[in-house]
């Protein structure tokens, strides 16, 4: 891997040696670029049609050349995959379909040698129903210690035939399922994902041990799933009707989202990470997936809680200068108030890819659009153009950026997957009214040809469209106009011009939200984004990078972005 490092980064100004991922207290996460790998769909090393750890190792050179700082790997644990691995059957192993613990050790060693850190997904809100604890709970009697590890309760009604309350699951339907003996278990997601009872000290101790297990194996951090959901109101009150289950996270004093009790758990984990970091001399971090009210988010980022938290504003924000500026200001102010740094993301494995979202008319409900269409309203070229501009916006902002695999290729959502291949529980649980999230999980194209465009040697678990060949890493490498080369250059320039460049100052001269233009400066570096489609003048200086060529008279024709060094 040392060779890969040299090959990949030799042109980066001021970077003659790889950053040392074992250095302590570097706080690298404050401005890192983190690349999310959805392991099923990244690279298939053994030719069974499913991505795996061997595949990730074999493709590390791509990540080195991209110039990222860390990889976040979505769950790789043994799992029946009823929710793509977020249904964990054993927290201390790797799923055989993805490889073994030895493969994980080898990946971590290779990544570290290349200067890349590894963050893994921790799923503490629920286990799989195949987890030995839940198997024991099912077989045990009501009131037994085995049952007390989960949220298992008697039902309402004369014979307990009604669920304990009216809560609904995020994926649709009741959040309660009845056990054969008549008690009910809570699952905020799929019925295959029973919620743990976080008032139980055994549960708390178990997750402390799991953290230590993976730290011991060499990982550098944790992305914590449903970080805002662990603690429930013990009275389990009914919920008033809300718009949708995730929107309900915005309701105050909600009985299962964002309760004060979660902070005590977070502080316990943070103490573990801090102690392990001090003892091992290796940076450790944790990042929260917390869908909470923006005003509540900073609480998760206090100095003894999460190092950082995802900020989902850009995942939901339309392509609009005013809305995006407001999202930037909100995130910067929130993080600053508690001494943390902002995070930015445009896509992940749960949402329609932004190259497609940005090609849809404003206010399209893109989750419904996947199934209901009309699909002809999609302007894919416009979506890609906006996505390229958005990449330059994100990579110039203070804080860290999370990239979802394939976004560096400008991959679109595969909205036309045939319904008989759909795997996401959302499809069944919504009674076929929502296609779900498979369209952003289609395996990555590496080569122009081949049975799965280089993903593996024998097909892919979800069908890839023919257009994927021309979007492959092979097709884009060396093409200076490609989205991949744009990302490679942007991430390299980010290191030399944006990291440590200081606070963001909006330019009142160039930012005109009513004309859909945003412009900010950080030190000597300037970023201008033209959200509209009229050409605009760019600030004086040397143009470092543009998402589209400037016009003959040096203006920026939107949608597009440019980076400039003042001079």
Shortest spacing between CB 274 and ligand NOJ, in angstroms? 26
Shortest spacing between CB 276 and ligand NOJ, in angstroms? 25
Nearest residue to the partner ligand NOJ, using Cβ: 86
Q: Token pair of 505, please?
A: 């100052």
Using the rule CB under 6 A, is 438 a contact of ligand NOJ? no
Using the rule CB under 6 A, is 358 a contact of ligand NOJ? no
Q: Which residues pair with 345 in a beta bridge?
A: 402
Q: Token pair of 520, please?
A: 């900010």
**Integer Cα distance of 276 and 273 in angstroms:** 5
Residues 220, 350, 407, 423: which binds ligand NOJ (CB under 6 A)?
350
Site string for ligand NOJ, 489-528 (x = CB under 6 A): ----------------------------------------
**Integer Cα distance of 5 and 17 in angstroms:** 9
Active site residue 289: yes
Give, as ranges, the residues between 15 and 54 that touch ligand NOJ (CB under 6 A).
none
Using the rule CB under 6 A, is 189 a contact of ligand NOJ? yes
**Integer Cα distance of 14 and 254 in angstroms:** 49
> In sequence order, which residues have a C-beta less than 8 Å from that of residue 455 and are 6 or more positions away?
41, 43, 44, 51, 443, 444, 445, 446, 464
Sheet architecture: strand order including 176-178: 152-153, 184-186, 176-178
CB 488 within 8 A of CB 391: no
- Half-sphere exposure of 349 toward its Cβ, with a 13 Å CA cutoff? 25
Using the rule CB under 6 A, is 531 a contact of ligand NOJ? no
Cα–Cα nearest to 530, from 351, 348, 363, 324: 324
**E-assigned strands of 56-200?**
70-73, 117-122, 152-153, 176-178, 184-186
Using the rule CB under 6 A, is 86 a contact of ligand NOJ? yes
Shortest spacing between CB 176 and ligand NOJ, in angstroms? 17
Helical packing angle, 101-113 and 201-217, nearest 10°: 60
Other CB atoms within 10 A of residue 547 CB: 25
Using the rule CB under 6 A, is 83 a contact of ligand NOJ? yes
Total number of residues that touch ligand NOJ (CB under 6 A): 9
Site string for ligand NOJ, 232-251 (x = CB under 6 A): --------------------
List b or e across 307-328, with b for residues whose CB sees 16 or more CB atoms inside 10 angstroms: bbbbbbbbbebebebebbbebb
Q: Token pair of 209, please?
A: 């041990």
**Integer Cα distance of 415 and 435 in angstroms:** 9
**Integer Cα distance of 155 and 293 in angstroms:** 31
Shortest spacing between CB 126 and ligand NOJ, in angstroms? 7
Please write down the HEC assignment for all residues of 379-444. CHHHHHHHHHHHHHHHHHCCCEEEEECCHHHCCCCCCCCCHHHCCCHHHHHCCCCCCCCHHHCCCC
Using the rule CB under 6 A, is 402 a contact of ligand NOJ? no
Using the rule CB under 6 A, is 258 a contact of ligand NOJ? no
Active site residue 225: yes
Shortest spacing between CB 327 and ligand NOJ, in angstroms? 20
CB 542 within 8 A of CB 562: no
Residues 44, 220, 225, 408: which binds ligand NOJ (CB under 6 A)?
225
Q: Please pick, among 52, 103, 220, 289, the residue that the annotation labels catalytic.
A: 289
Q: Which residue has the tokens 């953290």?
A: 211
Give, as ranges, the residues between 118 and 147 that touch ligand NOJ (CB under 6 A).
123
Using the rule CB under 6 A, is 226 a contact of ligand NOJ? yes
Q: Specify the residue, 1 or 123, whose C-beta has the smaller distance to ligand NOJ.
A: 123
Q: Specify the residue, 226 or 526, whose C-beta has the smaller distance to ligand NOJ.
A: 226
Q: Please pick, among 44, 52, 83, 225, the residue that the annotation labels catalytic.
A: 225
CB 562 within 8 A of CB 507: no
**Integer Cα distance of 554 and 396 in angstroms:** 21
Q: Which helix (H) or strand (E) holds 113?
A: helix 101-113
Q: Which residues are catalytic?
A: 225, 289
* Interface positions with ligand NOJ (CB under 6 A): 83, 86, 123, 189, 225-226, 289, 349-350
């Amino acid at each position: 891997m040392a060779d890969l490092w040299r090959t990949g980064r030799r042109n980066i100004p001021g970077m003659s040696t790889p950053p040392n991922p074992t250095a302590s207290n570097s706080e690298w996460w404050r401005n890192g670029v983190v690349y999310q790998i959805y392991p099923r769909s990244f690279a298939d090393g053994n030719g069974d049609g499913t991505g795996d750890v061997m595949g990730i190792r074999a493709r590390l050179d791509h990540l080195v050349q991209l110039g990222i700082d860390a990889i976040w790997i979505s769950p790789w644990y043994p799992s029946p995959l009823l929710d793509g691995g977020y249904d964990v059957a054993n927290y201390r192993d790797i799923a055989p379909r993805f490889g073994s613990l030895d493969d994980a050790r080898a990946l971590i060693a290779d990544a570290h040698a290349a200067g890349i850190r590894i963050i893994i997904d921790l799923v503490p809100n629920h286990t799989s129903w195949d987890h030995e604890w839940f198997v024991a709970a099912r077989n045990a009697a009501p009131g037994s210690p085995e049952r007390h590890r989960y949220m298992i309760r008697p039902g309402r009604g004369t014979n307990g035939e009604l669920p304990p309350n009216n809560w609904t699951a995020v994926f649709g339907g009741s959040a309660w399922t009845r056990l054969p003996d008549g008690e009910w278990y809570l699952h905020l997601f799929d019925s295959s994902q029973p919620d743990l009872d976080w008032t139980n000290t055994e549960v708390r101790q178990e997750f402390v041990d799991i953290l230590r297990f993976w730290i011991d194996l060499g990982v550098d951090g944790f992305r914590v799933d449903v970080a805002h959901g662990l603690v429930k109101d013990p009275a389990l009150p009914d919920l008033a009707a809300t718009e949708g289950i995730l929107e309900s996270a915005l309701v105050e004093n909600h009985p299962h989202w964002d309760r004060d009790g979660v902070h005590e758990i977070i502080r316990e984990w943070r103490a573990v990470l801090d102690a392990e970091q001090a003892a091992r001399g290796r940076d450790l971090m944790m990042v929260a997936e917390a869908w909470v009210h923006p005003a509540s988010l900073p609480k998760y980022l206090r100095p003894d809680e999460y190092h950082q938290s995802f900020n989902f504003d850009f995942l939901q924000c339309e392509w609009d200068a005013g809305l995006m500026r407001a999202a930037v200001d909100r995130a910067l102010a929130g993080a600053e108030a508690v001494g943390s740094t902002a995070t930015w993301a445009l896509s992940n494995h749960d949402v329609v890819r932004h190259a497609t979202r940005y090609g849809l008319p404003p206010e399209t409900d893109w989750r419904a659009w996947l199934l209901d269409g009309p699909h002809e309203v999609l302007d894919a070229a416009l979506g890609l153009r906006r996505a390229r501009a958005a990449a330059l916006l994100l990579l110039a902002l203070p804080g860290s950026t999370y990239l979802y695999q394939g976004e560096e290729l400008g991959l679109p959502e595969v909205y036309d997957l045939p319904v008989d291949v759909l795997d996401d529980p959302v499809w069944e649980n919504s009674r076929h009214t929502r296609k779900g999230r498979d369209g952003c999980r289609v395996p990555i194209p590496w080569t122009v040809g081949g049975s799965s465009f280089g993903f593996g040697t024998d097909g892919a678990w979800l069908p890839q469209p023919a257009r994927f060949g021309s979007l492959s890493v092979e097709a884009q490498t060396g093409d200076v106009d490609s989205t991949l080369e744009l990302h490679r250059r942007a991430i390299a320039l980010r290191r030399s011009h944006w990291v440590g460049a200081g606070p963001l100052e909006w330019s009142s001269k160039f930012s005109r939200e009513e004309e859909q233009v945003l412009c900010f400066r950080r030190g000597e570096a300037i970023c201008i984004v033209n959200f509209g489609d009229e050409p605009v003048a760019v600030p004086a200086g040397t143009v470092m990078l543009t998402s589209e060529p400037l016009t003959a008279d040096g203006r920026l024709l939107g949608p597009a972005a440019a980076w400039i060094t003042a001079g």
